[in-house]
Amino acid sequence: MALRNVLKQNDPVLRKKSKEVTVFDSSLVNLFKDMEDTLKKEDGAGISAVQVGVLKRAFIIIDKKELVYVVNPQILSTKGKYKNLIEGCLSVPNKCGEVERPNEVVAKFQDLNGNFVERTFVGFSAKAFCHEYDHLDGILYIDKAIRMFDSYDEYYDYQDKLARLERKERKEKKK
């Protein structure tokens, strides 16, 4: 299909609330095909319609290497905390941040044909689901970030520093 431009963080459209999808037709299928092409080009883990300038409650995430097409999602329940806090976003390039997300999400949504689906997402997929779900309400991960970094390298340097301090503290306690 076609590649779409990914809106960047300062674009006011990203802060708008998306509208429920009521028509399941070829234009919705084409939107998802464009989003899929854009996601692959950008090498992301998910993309929402609002990120390509369309205010519809729709997104794609990757769950265990499978693309999941999500329309009109609802989060039914969440459980636990996902241990890998680091998160990035196609709309916030060259940055990442620590965000607490649930380790398990039970969701109800519609597929491309309007059929209802209930599915459980675990680990990274749960994090991706919540991240894209937030986009539909005009929320960016930077709004929830505990700590922000200018790059993944900066984040990993920070983690290394914390690990060294932890080891040093353990050694001192043993003395």
The residues carrying an active-site annotation are 132
Using CA atoms, how far apart are residues 29 and 40, in angstroms rounded to an integer? 17
Pairing relationship of beta strands 92-98 and 147-149 according to DSSP bridges:
antiparallel
- Give the rounded distance of the alpha carbon of 111 from its chain centre: 18
Quote the tokens at residue 105.
Answer: 């999400």
Cα–Cα separations (whole angstroms), residue 154 to 86, 150, 157: 12, 6, 5
Using CA atoms, how far apart are residues 127 and 97, in angstroms rounded to an integer? 13
Q: What residues pair up with 121 in beta bridges, in sequence order?
A: 105
CB atoms within 10 A of CB 108: 13
Distant-in-sequence, close-in-space partners of 70: CB < 8 Å, separation ≥ 6? 58, 59, 60, 61, 107, 109, 129, 132
